[in-house]
Structure 1
């Protein structure tokens, strides 16, 4: 492929996917921290609650749904769990967190954060058309990376003389992270 065609392909794919790359990067950063805070939700109301909890083995889907109903929360329970001594029951627009030993906790009701919530849906979407589009996007990112390595033909910053070292470092770093952490 001629140098100008490589540059044109690199430029055009880069321009076409610029918005998606920024959106994915932004929502990916937010997704990395979703265990510590709820970037896609705005808290509307928080109120204390005290529950009599059965033994951990008796806490199941039926118990979680009944508890949510008894507390006046509408909607289906999305998930429930006990982690680090805290019972967590999550619904679409509310969450119940209760200390498993004391039974004290809170109900937090929220609404979706505009734009942020929709951007985070990109990472969770499993519809067929989105999967195909994401595959095309992934292939395009590979093409952008490869054409980027071919763009500089002369000088000390060519891929062959310089870029391969950074590329190898870019491969090694996540591998070390996966193996060590």
Structure 2
């Protein structure tokens, strides 16, 4: 039986998954900042509106969804909230913001940003196919990591002398970050 060449296996798996690794990293960066901007959407139109709102205690999901329909929004309702005197409704492709006091506001319409919106789906997709594919990808990353540990022979930079310490630090760092800032 032929001996497995871990250096070649490591190299070939690395080449095979480089595109997906970059896509996941790019998607992850955008997902980390999705509250600050709409990375998967961009504004195409802003329309001024004026509506009469009921008392804040009467505003709920049903009211928000119905108001959206009255305003001509027919896409999927996501959520509604009232914050700092502003009534906000989020739909799949529209955001509505209305000043609670004056009833004046705006509808912002969005369309999907090509490539970016598809890349962000890498972190959101829950189809059975994608879950299995992601599991295979995760196992491959583990394989790449483990084959990388045995590529460097004995010496001052080997797994035995230095690598394991850096690997432990790589596990401890995010755990500390989560404990301190999570």
TM over 0.5: yes
**Structure 2: gaps (5+ residues):** none
Q: d(CA) in 1 for partners of 2:21 and 2:125?
A: 16
2:9 maps to 1:9: yes
Query: How many aligned positions are there?
Result: 180
Alignment TM-score, normalising by the size of structure 1: 0.89
Superposition pairs of residues 1-150 of structure 1, within 5 angstroms? 5-83=5-83, 86-100=86-100, 103-150=103-150
Q: d(CA) in 1 for partners of 2:36 and 2:90?
A: 15
**Structure 1: gaps (5+ residues):** none
Q: Which ranges of 4 or more aligned residues in structure 1 deviate by more than 6 Å?
A: none
Q: d(CA) in 1 for partners of 2:3 and 2:83?
A: 56
Q: d(CA) in 1 for partners of 2:119 and 2:145?
A: 24
Alignment TM-score, normalising by the size of structure 2: 0.88
User: Which has the higher mean CA deviation after the structures are superposed, 115-124 or 65-74?
Assistant: 65-74
**CA displacement 1:74-126 (0-9 Å, x = unmatched):** 22312223355543212222111234455443211011000000011111111
Q: Indicate conservation of the 8 Å contact 2:95/2:108, yes or no.
A: yes
SS in 1 for 2:97: strand
